[in-house]
Amino acid sequence: MLICPLCQQPLSPLDNGVGCPANHRFDRARQGYLNLLPVQHKKSRDPGDNQAMVEARRRFLDAGHYAPIARRLAELAAERAPRNWLDIGCGEGYYTARIAEALPGADGYALDISREAVKRACKRAPQLTWLVASMARIPLADASCQFLASVFSPLDWTEAVRLLPAGGGVLRVGPTREHLIELRERLYDEVRDYDDEKHLAQLPAGVELAHSETLSFKLRLDDPTARADLLAMTPHGWRASAERRAAVIERPLEVSVAVRYDWLQLG
């Protein structure tokens, strides 16, 4: 399943990591993950979310605020019953762990470019293969995963299609135009609308929308720490002014949570 990120040859287990026939070696960290992101593939010293962003997301998600999203994600994953699956852009592993619970007999992989995120994520489900890697160079073999999860994460369709066999697909979970609308109205003078189906125009040839559904609920955040964490885990945490962010943290907030699940299948 695993391939070398430098030469794309198969990786085999070694004493404390993996290696390929070309003698490229990659060690396993003490936390249990494999770092398959060579320095020449990095655009910065520590790409991806930093420790503060990861910790904010971990606190918010572990408090159960988005539990309905994770529950439905796990149900949809179980319906597909893949033999092998991958969570692309797994972050600190909250959603990945729910997928793993729903697919106990499957071989699961998860990757993120953020080392800080994967360090924490691999503690949630040690039975999975956790990777620090780029979603533009996923170190898995062609047609090796029947199920790919992309939860609030960008997606490289070239790599996704390479990984999918016929009949496999991507379960994409993303926000709708109503998601966190009340928060955005507090942060910006003008809230920009967007098309909930814009991502469908980017589907490559051979990939079709096979199923779509939405989930929405109201979420009341009375704890200022929860409001601060929500800001820190979204792009709004750095797009909005410091004054607007402080005002959000100061007062209780009820927001609409609205997400869309799309099963995008390769024919």
Residue list for the binding site: 4, 7, 20, 24, 66, 92-93, 179
The CA distance from 46 to 35, in Å, is 12
Report yes or no: 252 and 222 within 8 Å, Cβ to Cβ: yes
Residues 6+ apart with CB under 8 A from 248: 183, 186, 187, 227, 231
Report yes or no: 47 and 35 within 8 Å, Cβ to Cβ: no
Report the run of H or E that residue 75 belongs to, with start and end.
helix 67-80
Sign of torsion, CA 214 204 133 42? negative
Residues 6+ apart with CB under 8 A from 82: 103, 106, 145, 146, 147, 168
Burial 96-107 (b: 16+ CB within 10 A, else e): bbbbbebbeebb
Residues 6+ apart with CB under 8 A from 44: none
Binding residues for Zn(2+): 4, 7, 20, 24
Binding residues for S-adenosyl-L-methionine: 66, 92-93, 179
